[in-house]
Chains A and B, each alone.
Chain A
């Protein structure tokens, strides 16, 4: 099955630094979502994007839905130790009640 291309695969940063990760696809998605997964847990939704060009913030997190509808990025500003985890992008082709296609994840490590 298809997966989204997510990069980088892993990141090691110092506390206080900003982080950026992105996701690309060869086909169009009408909804982009960013999830965070802690060890031994299920993914938790961080940000949902429904409109091409949309820029949405949630606290220190900012995500954008690319104009071409084939990409999205997530920024985390002023990282803190609890930001550690695996971040996944996910897309839905049509929106509504439909399966999610996931990226392989970006593993973030924050050094205090």
Chain B
């Protein structure tokens, strides 16, 4: 059973461009979470999705950020008009129904020039 997959692993964007981060949960997992980690910091929750639904987006900035988890395909975290402060590692985690444990992917490291 493959683990949580994230791609790309590294992404470089110039200010004002769009960044798209993809997450494929573990097989059979219908819950996806996105977290952001700044250097020397812990992970901070952004958004929790189930298939086709956003359950909790309390950690998501109100502007420029959006997330989706379609019926088919990976979950996407989209950042429009990136700024230098968006540079961070973005981690996706997934969990199955009826289990608490969240399994993390290897992360996408976004660098905004």
* Residue positions of A touching B, CB distance < 8 A: 1, 3-4, 6, 31, 35, 40-45, 48, 50, 88, 90, 92, 95-105
**Residue in chain B with minimal CB distance to A88:** B42
> Is B54 part of the contact surface with A, judged by Cβ < 8 Å?
no
Dominant secondary structure at the B interface:
strand
Size category of the B interface is 20 to 34
> Quick check: which of B70-78, B79-87, B99-107 contacts chain A, the rest being far away?
B99-107
How far is the CB of B4 from the nearest CB of chain A, in Å? 8
Give 9 A-B pairs besides A50-B100, A104-B41 with Cβ atoms closer than 8 angstroms.
A41-B107, A42-B91, A42-B93, A42-B105, A88-B43, A100-B43, A100-B45, A103-B42, A105-B41
**Residue in chain B with minimal CB distance to A92:** B100
Give chain A residues whose Cβ lies under 8 Å from the Cβ of B43. Answer: 43, 88, 90, 100, 102
Tell whether, in the assembled complex, residue A1 and residue B59 are in contact, meaning their CB atoms are under 8 Å apart: yes
Tell whether, in the assembled complex, residue B42 and residue A97 are in contact, meaning their CB atoms are under 8 Å apart: no
Given contacts A97-B48, A99-B48, A99-B59, is CB(A45)–CB(B103) below 8 Å? yes
* Bound: A96/B102 CA distance, A: 10
Tell whether, in the assembled complex, residue A1 and residue B100 are in contact, meaning their CB atoms are under 8 Å apart: no
**Residue in chain A with minimal CB distance to B44:** A1
**Residue in chain B with minimal CB distance to A97:** B31
Which residues of chain B in 34-49 are interfacial with respect to chain A, using CB atoms and an 8 Å cutoff? 35, 40-45, 48
